[in-house]
Structure 1
Amino acid sequence: MSDTIIRVENLGKKYIIGHQQEGRSQYVALRDVIAEGAKSVVKRFTKPQESNSNREEFWALKDVSFEIKRGECVGIIGRNGAGKSTLLKILSRITEPTTGRISIKGRVASLLEVGTGFHPELTGRENIYLNGAILGMSRAEIKKKFDEIVAFAEVEKFLDTPVKHYSSGMYVRLAFAVAAHLEPEILVVDEVLAVGDAAFQKKCLGKMGDVATKEGRTVLFVSHNMATVQNLCSQCLYLNSGKIKEVNSTEFVINQYLVDISSESNKDSLAFRKDRQCSNKVKIVNFYILDDCREKQSVLQSGNNYTFVMEYENYCVEKIFDDVIGSIAITDNRNEITFLIRSNFTDQNFSINQQKGYIEAQVKDFNLTTGIYNTILFLSHRETEILDCISNACIIQVEAGDFFNTGSIGLPSHCKTLTRADWITK
């Protein structure tokens, strides 16, 4: 018997988008609506060959195919509008596909939007039974799990209150508790968990991990939080403009996703980047890395020496910015800082008093392990005024080097930084 629990073949979802005619008033009278309707009917019969220029086809998903095995926890990532939520709605049978075929073995519990499947006039207690019934559970099955659901959701005090009075966080607590405890074969979770507080998010992620690893059920998880996806999911599916760009191990897919995001951001040079925190007094306009021969490097090796260079432009030449702090951070695919250099750490703050210039930071024995990283560039004046700050400034690729002078590359799967030590027995 096959372990495949979800099989998707050539899936597509098309929407028709309407556009307002140019020059048409935003507000129209009823007589105008009736007249336009009559005209459209006449045109339909007199000129059937003409297409409606005010309607456009939009494919939210196109030619999507993949398989998911029983017990897998799969992350689904992609930019806003990539088709992630549309895919989950189709898998949850909320909407029908336009093309393609889906085969699902087992019951699906979905948590896509706050309050989905809840009746606002019913109490929390009544909605637990309602949700369970929607998921295909018998009253006996729901009653058996009832106490666990209430305890997990931590809403016992408000159990007999209509859920229309619940906060969004309480909605999520109860909805997730029902979906996770009523034992569906497949649990589908969208970004909705971001509504809950940090403690409850951690609790939910732990429960989803148990659902997949200990209970052998399948989890589909959509999130923009790469650290969460990395911790929870072993496999990842990357959607881009409605199509699958990559299906592979989570680390591999997240690295590809981050490279694409950085490439998209860097279509404009740093000088023209809008997604920055800037005083418009001093701007970082370029960034690159040099080796010992002063040649620009696109791939770094651990153990080598490098010079990190930020080019700047000063738009307040008449003013001297003294005691300027320069900072370069390198982040991993979880967006966590793994490498940080700052001028004030070594009491080497500097002044900016010319129109254009270079800020260099020399790094000895570069100690990051193999991987794909991103950068954050930062300049501030006397720790009180941010001059410029750019996230996702540049992708850095690191390959294994002879950091230890022994040929060992360390353990990139266990740690991102390398450190030497002298080992002694006595």
Structure 2
Amino acid sequence: MSRDVILKVENISKQYRLGLVGTGTISHDLNRWWHKVRGKEDPYLKIGERNDRSTKGTSDYVWALQDINFEVERGEVLGIIGKNGAGKSTLLKILSKVTSPTTGEIKTKGRIASLLEVGTGFHGEMTGRENIFLNGAILGMTKKEIASKIDEIIDFSGCERYIDTPVKRYSSGMTVRLAFAVAAFLEPEILVIDEVLAVGDAEFQKKAIGKMQDISRGEGRTVLFVSHNMAAVKSLCTRAIVLEKGKVGFSGEVENGINYYLDGTKSNFTLGQFKDRKGTGVVKIKRVMVFGSDTNCKPQTGKPFTICFELDNEHQISYQDISFDIRIDDNLGQRISWLSTSLKQKTNESDINRLTFVMDKLQLNDGFYYVTTHIAVKKEVSDWIQNAFSFEVEQGDYYNTGFMVPNIQSKALLNFTIEL
């Protein structure tokens, strides 16, 4: 059976020059021109560094994307996931022809509608109704075709009262509602959606995901979906690719892709040099230890569980001024528990440098979990690290019946005691 490939990306790369000038100096432009007239390759394609936003680097050129290859079949919903700065939005802009690739080629069959930012393709001075006709015309539809869909678009968006008001007076949520309705109902063969849906409220997000499922499964249209919401990616997408510093790190099944991405967000438990953190740094986490029954055992369902934090408190801040909390998420980013404490008692020394959370019987199913940490000093954020570290829980005999607890995805209420 032949595959119906609707989108093919071949060796796509995108290079940017850092700084105030987009393409380089006059000498760089002349050098490019001289190589071009002689039939030579652009000399600046041979230089440049990988797109690592956390390092300073030595080159003025950076590869936002490098050698991207993939195919998408008709009716597929492809999830594109990765860290901030991995190249997701750049890729979607190239696919939507907002910008052109430095090298490579894109082959498509049919029209592409994009929802990349709030108000994409909208003119602020025009009304919502006028913008619907404008977007339809851009997609190559006739006025009659657009008019036949306009009632459905307005009804789905929930903006009927404001449809004849200039879009510049819409809230960001209303703009997204109308933009998504236009993109979904004007029947493009390929629908490209960035994280912009996160601007909408919970009711609209659910409605939008349902509509994307309908147009992919029922109408056979293709969706490219970028999101940091792993639950939405898992429920909606049929396949996933993971971008890492401008390159494809994984391509395959959605669940495997999510696990690959989340495994890549693990941090070393030595957090002293961890850069992606917020706060004053007066008190911060230096090291974390996570273990089960003893320091040599992995955490296991139904067994003792310990998280021990070693703090960097060189200013010897008093324990009464420190508050500490941790938030535990599952591998889809869903909040399992939020534990918060203020330190009330401390003996032997005036400063605090170690805090231990102890649980006699771990109430988590097997799988990976991710911990966000937050320290405040006198109610001012001192050290806040999103997904500071992760830990794995092994299946265990929680009820001492000789049977392992089945992995049922549900939220657990965790009861810890705290040792200082």
TM-score strictly above 0.5: yes
The offset of 1:91, in angstroms, is 2.4
**Length-normalised TM-score, structure 1:** 0.76
Asked if residue 292 in structure 1 is aligned to residue 275 in structure 2, the reply is no
SS state at 2:210 partner: helix
Amino acid aligned to 2:310: E
Partner Cα separation in structure 1 for residue 370 and residue 43 of structure 2:
47
The residue aligned with 1:308 is 307
Give the number of the structure whose alpha-carbon radius of gyration is greater: 1
Q: Paired residue for 2:333?
A: 335
**Alignment partner, residue 6 of structure 2:** 6
Quick check: 2:176–2:196 contact (8 Å CA) kept in 1? yes
In structure 1, what is the Cα distance between the partners aligned to 2:287 and 2:128?
56
Q: Which runs of 5+ in 2 are unaligned?
A: 49-58, 415-420
Q: How many residues align?
A: 392
Question: Secondary structure of 2:192's partner?
Answer: strand
Q: How big is each residue's C-alpha offset from its partner over 1:388-416, in whole Å with a ceiling of 9 and x where there is no partner?
A: 54432211122323334456444436336
Change in CA separation of 1:312 and 1:162 when aligned onto 2, cut-off 3 Å? closer
1:111 aligns with 2:107: no
How do 1:379-418 and structure 2 match up within 5 A? 388-406=383-401, 408-412=403-407, 414-415=409-410
Shift of 1:179: 0.8
Mapping of residues 262-301 of structure 1, within 5 Å: 262-263=266-267, 266=268, 269-273=270-274, 275-276=276-277, 278=279, 280=281, 282-293=283-294, 295-297=295-297, 299-301=298-300
Distance 1:406 1:104, change over 3 A: farther
1:49-105 deviation line (CA, Å, top 9, x unaligned) = 996899965433222222323333222112233221222223223444444443433
Does residue 202 of structure 2 align to residue 207 of structure 1? no
Change (3 A) 1:13 1:279: closer
Alpha-carbon distance between aligned partners in 1 of 2:281 and 2:104, rounded to the nearest angstrom? 51
Asked if the contact 2:242–2:251 (Cα under 8 Å) also holds between the matched residues in 1, the reply is yes
Alignment of 1:84 with 2:88, yes or no, is yes
Partners of 2:5 and 2:357 in 1: how far apart? 53
Alignment TM-score, normalising by the size of structure 2 = 0.77
Change (3 A) 1:186 1:405: farther
Secondary structure of the residue that 2:331 maps to in structure 1?
Answer: coil
1:292 partner amino acid: S
Q: Secondary structure at the match of 1:201?
A: helix
Say whether the 8 Å CA contact 2:7–2:108 is kept in structure 1.
yes
**Aligned residue in 2 for 1:186:** 190
CA gap 1:275/1:413 in 2 versus in 1, 3 angstroms: same
Aligned-residue offset at 1:418: 10
Please give the per-residue CA displacement for 1:95-144, whole angstroms capped at 9, x wherever unaligned.
44444443433332211233333344443222212212222333333222
Could you list the per-position Cα deviations for residues 255-294 of structure 1 after superposition, in whole angstroms to 9, with x for gaps in the alignment?
A: 322332333xx49x4334455465655433221023434x
Q: Distance in 1 between matches of 2:281 and 2:413?
A: 38
* Code of the aligned partner of 2:319: F
Percent identity among equivalent residues?
45
Query: Residue 350 of structure 1 aligns with which residue?
Result: 345
- Identify the residue that residue 156 of structure 1 maps to in structure 2: 160
How big is each residue's C-alpha offset from its partner over 1:298-337, in whole Å with a ceiling of 9 and x where there is no partner?
Answer: x4322322222112244454x6424976544321123333
Change (3 A) 1:257 1:141: same
Tell me what 2:15 maps to: 15
Corresponding position of 2:355? 359
* CA distance in structure 2 between the partners assigned to 1:275 and 1:58 by the alignment: 21
Structure 2 counterpart of 1:186, which letter?
Answer: I
Give the direction of change, closer, same or farther, for the CA distance of 1:163–1:155 in structure 2 (3 Å limit). Answer: same
Aligned to 1:143: 147
**Distance (Å, rounded) in 1 between the aligned partners of 2:279 and 2:20:** 38
Cα shift readout 1:152-184 (whole Å, capped 9, x = no counterpart) = 223333333343444443332222111111222
